[in-house]
Amino acid sequence: MPETHQRFLQPKLLALLGKMELRAATVVEGVMAGLHRSPYRGLSIEFAEYRHYQPGDEPKRIDWKAYARSDRHYIKEFEDEVNLEARIVMDASASMSFGSNGITKWQYTGYMAASLAYLLQSQRDEIGLVVLDEDIRVEFQPKHLRGHLIRLIGAMESVTPSRETRLASVLHRVAAKLRRRGMIIVLSDLLDDPAEVIAALRHLQFGGNDVVVFHLLDPAELRFDFSGPTRFIDPETNAMVPALAEDVKGPYLDALGAFLKTYREELGKTNIAYTLIDTSEPLDRALLAFLSYRMKRK
Amino acid sequence: MLAFINPMYLLAGTAVLAPVLLHLLLRNRPQRKILPTMRFLPGTSQQSVAMHRLKNILLLILRAAAVLLIALAFSRPYFERRQIVPAQDEAGEAVVFAIDASMSMRANDRWRVAVDRAMTLNRALAADSRRGVVVFDRAPQVACGDTDDALAVETALKQAAPGYGSTDLAAGVRAAADLAATMNAKTRNVYVISDFQRAGFKQITGSIDIPEGISLTPMPIAEEEHSANVAIAACAEKPESLPGHRLVRVQVAAFNTDKADGTVTLESGNKSLESRAIHVGAGDRVVEDFDLPLSLDAQCVVTARVDIKDALPDDNALTVVLPARVTLPLLVCTPTDVVAMGGPEASRTALPGANPYLKAVVAAFGATVRPTWLAPAQVGTLPAREYRAAIANAPESFPAKAIESLKAFVRDGGVLVVFPGDGDPSVLQDLAGVRTDGWESSIDRDQFQLVTYVASDSALTSLDESGATVLGFPKAFRYLKVVEQTPDPAGSGAMHAIARLDNSLPFVVERKMGQGTVYLFTAPLAPKDSDLVLRAGFTPFLYHLLDRGVDLIRPKTSYIVGDTLVDATDGAVLAGPDGREFDAELLRRPLASPGAYTLRQAANERVFAVRTDPEESDLTPLDSQRIAAMGRTASIDAQTLVASAADVARNDSDPDANQQVWWYLMAAALACLGAETMVASRTSR
pLDDT in tens, B263-301: 999 998 888 889 999 888 877 788 888 888 888 778 888
Residue A248 in contact with partner chain B when CB distance is under 8 A = yes
Lowest mean pLDDT among B233-242, B375-384, B588-597: B375-384
In this structure, are residues B301 and B596 in contact, taking their beta carbons and an 8 Å threshold? Answer: yes
| Whether residue A250 is found in the same domain as residue A108 | yes
> Residue B100: what pLDDT?
92
Residue A259 in contact with partner chain B when CB distance is under 8 A = yes
| Whether residue B637 is found in the same domain as residue B570 | no
Looking at the domain assignment, is residue B163 inside a domain?
A: yes
Residue B46 in contact with partner chain A when CB distance is under 8 A = yes
CB contact under 8 A, A241 and B685: no
Burial of B395-417, coded b for 16+ CB within 10 Å and e otherwise, reads bbebeeebbebbbebbeebbbbb
DSSP state at residue B96: E
Looking at the domain assignment, is residue B615 inside a domain?
A: no
Smallest CA-to-CA distance from B81 within B657, B662, B660, B651 is with B651
B4: helix, strand or coil:
strand
* Entry pTM: 0.46
| Whether residue A62 is found in the same domain as residue A170 | no
| Whether residue B628 is found in the same domain as residue B582 | no
Looking at the domain assignment, is residue B35 inside a domain?
A: no
Relative to beta strand B449-454, strand B475-476 is antiparallel
Q: What pLDDT digit, counting tens, does each position of B460-498 carry?
A: 554 455 544 556 677 888 899 888 776 777 777 778 888
- Taking the CA atoms of B345, B346, B349 and B353 in sequence, report the sign of the dihedral they define: negative
| Whether residue B545 is found in the same domain as residue B566 | no
| Whether residue B563 is found in the same domain as residue B674 | no
In this structure, are residues A272 and A171 in contact, taking their beta carbons and an 8 Å threshold? Answer: no
Relative to beta strand A210-217, strand A183-188 is parallel
Residue scoring higher pLDDT (B214 or B652): B214
Q: How many CB atoms lie within 10 A of CB B632?
A: 16
| Whether residue B173 is found in the same domain as residue B307 | no
CB contact under 8 A, A233 and B51: no
CB contact under 8 A, A243 and B34: no
- Which residues 31-70 of chain A have a CB within 8 Å of chain B? none
The residue among A50, A79, A108 that closes a domain is A79
| Whether residue B531 is found in the same domain as residue B396 | yes
| Whether residue B530 is found in the same domain as residue B408 | yes
| Whether residue A259 is found in the same domain as residue A211 | yes
Residue A225 in contact with partner chain B when CB distance is under 8 A = no
Q: What pLDDT digit, counting tens, does each position of B192-250 carry?
A: 898 888 776 665 555 566 777 788 888 888 776 666 788 898 888 876 777 778 888 89
Burial of A219-233, coded b for 16+ CB within 10 Å and e otherwise, reads ebbbebebeebbebb
Q: How many residues does chain B have?
A: 685
CATH number of the domain that residue A293 is part of: 3.40.50.410
Minimum distance, in Å, between the CA of residue A249 and any CA atom of chain B: 8
> Residue B417: what pLDDT?
92
Of A189, A218, A242, the CB nearest to B46: A242
> Which chain A residue is nearest to residue B684, measuring alpha carbons?
A246
> Residue B208: what pLDDT?
66
| Helices A167-177 and A194-205, packing angle to 10 deg | 10
Across residues B495-513, what is the average pLDDT? Answer: 84
In this structure, are residues B106 and B160 in contact, taking their beta carbons and an 8 Å threshold? Answer: no
> Residue A259: what pLDDT?
93
| Whether residue A101 is found in the same domain as residue A51 | no
CB contact under 8 A, B36 and A234: yes
The residue among A52, A79, A106 that closes a domain is A79
| Whether residue A57 is found in the same domain as residue A191 | no
Rounded Cα distance, B469 and A94, in Å: 100
| Whether residue A188 is found in the same domain as residue A117 | yes
| Whether residue A185 is found in the same domain as residue A214 | yes
Looking at the domain assignment, is residue A220 inside a domain?
A: yes
| Whether residue B187 is found in the same domain as residue B237 | no
In this structure, are residues B361 and B533 in contact, taking their beta carbons and an 8 Å threshold? Answer: yes
CB contact under 8 A, A217 and B37: yes
Residue scoring higher pLDDT (B579 or A42): B579
Rounded Cα distance, A123 and A33, in Å: 9
What does the mean pLDDT of chain B come to? 78
Relative to beta strand A210-217, strand A273-278 is parallel
Of B30, B39, B44, the CB nearest to A231: B30
The residues facing A185 across adjacent strands are A88, A212
HSE at residue B441, side-chain half, CA atoms within 13 A, is: 8
CB contact under 8 A, B33 and A230: yes
DSSP state at residue A69: H
Minimum distance, in Å, between the CA of residue A20 and any CA atom of chain B: 35
Q: How many CB atoms lie within 10 A of CB B63?
A: 20
Rounded Cα distance, A194 and A180, in Å: 26
Across residues B156-182, what is the average pLDDT? Answer: 88
CATH number of the domain that residue B520 is part of: 3.40.50.880
| Whether residue B531 is found in the same domain as residue B417 | yes
Residue A219 in contact with partner chain B when CB distance is under 8 A = no
Cβ neighbours of residue B225 under 8 Å, at least 6 residues apart?
A: none
Amino acid at B202: K
Minimum distance, in Å, between the CA of residue A265 and any CA atom of chain B: 19
> With contacts defined as CB-CB under 8 Å, which chain A residues touch B55?
none
Looking at the domain assignment, is residue A178 inside a domain?
A: yes
Number of domains present in the structure of chain B: 5
**Residue of A164, A192, A218, A248 to mutate, interface with B, max B Cβ within 10 Å:** A248
Smallest CA-to-CA distance from A192 within A223, A173, A215 is with A215
Of A221, A229, A251, the CB nearest to B37: A221
CA dihedral A191, A183, A205, A135 (to 10 degrees): 40
| Whether residue A263 is found in the same domain as residue A276 | yes
Rounded Cα distance, B331 and B430, in Å: 20
Amino acid at A243: A
B441: helix, strand or coil:
strand
| Whether residue A67 is found in the same domain as residue A160 | no
Residue A234 in contact with partner chain B when CB distance is under 8 A = yes
CB contact under 8 A, B45 and A247: yes
> Residue B454: what pLDDT?
63
**Residue of B29, B31, B32, B34 to mutate, interface with A, max A Cβ within 10 Å:** B34
Rounded Cα distance, B654 and B78, in Å: 9
Q: How many CB atoms lie within 10 A of CB B620?
A: 17
> With contacts defined as CB-CB under 8 Å, which chain A residues touch B53?
229
CB contact under 8 A, B36 and A233: no
> With contacts defined as CB-CB under 8 Å, which chain A residues touch B31?
226, 228-231
What does the mean pLDDT of chain A come to? 77
> With contacts defined as CB-CB under 8 Å, which chain B residues touch A261?
none
Number of domains present in the structure of chain A: 2
Looking at the domain assignment, is residue B529 inside a domain?
A: yes
> Which chain A residue is nearest to residue B47, measuring alpha carbons?
A243
Across residues B381-407, what is the average pLDDT? Answer: 83
Rounded Cα distance, B200 and B198, in Å: 5
Smallest CA-to-CA distance from B214 within B551, B645, B655 is with B645
> With contacts defined as CB-CB under 8 Å, which chain B residues touch A162?
none
| Whether residue B374 is found in the same domain as residue B522 | yes
Q: How many residues does chain A have?
A: 298
CA A138 to chain centre: 17
Expressed as residue numbers, the domain containing A119 is: 3-28+84-297
Q: What pLDDT digit, counting tens, does each position of A185-231 carry?
A: 999 999 889 999 999 999 998 878 888 899 999 999 999 988 878 88
- What is the ipTM score, two decimals? 0.73
pLDDT category at A253 given cuts 50, 70, 90 is: very high
The residue among B538, B553, B568 that closes a domain is B553
CA B350 to chain centre: 48
The residues facing A77 across adjacent strands are A49
Across residues B36-64, what is the average pLDDT? Answer: 81
3-state helix, strand, coil in chain A (%, to 5): 40, 25, 35
Across residues B98-103, what is the average pLDDT? Answer: 92
| Whether residue B528 is found in the same domain as residue B456 | yes
Relative to beta strand A183-188, strand A136-143 is unpaired
10 Å CB burial of residue A240 (0-12, 13-18, 19+) is: exposed
B243: helix, strand or coil:
coil
Relative to beta strand B260-268, strand B187-194 is unpaired
Smallest CA-to-CA distance from A189 within B35, B41, B42 is with B35
Rounded Cα distance, B229 and B617, in Å: 7
In this structure, are residues A62 and A26 in contact, taking their beta carbons and an 8 Å threshold? Answer: no
| Whether residue B300 is found in the same domain as residue B417 | no
Residue B52 in contact with partner chain A when CB distance is under 8 A = yes
CB pairs under 8 A between A and B: 98
CB contact under 8 A, A235 and B34: yes
DSSP state at residue B152: H
- Residue spans of beta strands (DSSP E) within B522-594: 558-560, 573-575, 581-582
> With contacts defined as CB-CB under 8 Å, which chain B residues touch A95?
36
Lowest mean pLDDT among A43-47, B140-144, B644-648: B644-648
CATH number of the domain that residue B289 is part of: 2.60.40.10
Expressed as residue numbers, the domain containing B205 is: 82-224+621-653
Residue B33 in contact with partner chain A when CB distance is under 8 A = yes
pLDDT category at B133 given cuts 50, 70, 90 is: very high
> Residue A10: what pLDDT?
46
DSSP state at residue B653: I
A132: helix, strand or coil:
strand
User: E strand or H helix at B24, and its extent?
Assistant: helix B17-26
Minimum distance, in Å, between the CA of residue B673 and any CA atom of chain A: 23
Residue scoring higher pLDDT (B455 or B44): B44
In this structure, are residues B351 and B338 in contact, taking their beta carbons and an 8 Å threshold? Answer: yes
Rounded Cα distance, B43 and B45, in Å: 6
Instruction: State yes or no: pLDDT of B312 exceeds 60.
Output: yes
| Whether residue A66 is found in the same domain as residue A152 | no
Residue scoring higher pLDDT (A278 or A13): A278
| Whether residue A167 is found in the same domain as residue A72 | no
Across residues A237-243, what is the average pLDDT? Answer: 84
B591: helix, strand or coil:
coil
Looking at the domain assignment, is residue A35 inside a domain?
A: no
Task: Give φ, ψ of B230 to 5 degrees.
Answer: -125, 140
| Whether residue A9 is found in the same domain as residue A117 | yes
> Which chain B residue is nearest to residue A257, measuring alpha carbons?
B40
In this structure, are residues B250 and B286 in contact, taking their beta carbons and an 8 Å threshold? Answer: no
Residue scoring higher pLDDT (B174 or A25): B174
User: E strand or H helix at A155, and its extent?
Assistant: helix A148-157
CB contact under 8 A, A221 and B39: no
Looking at the domain assignment, is residue B213 inside a domain?
A: yes
Minimum distance, in Å, between the CA of residue A162 and any CA atom of chain B: 12
Across residues A13-33, what is the average pLDDT? Answer: 33
HSE at residue A147, side-chain half, CA atoms within 13 A, is: 0
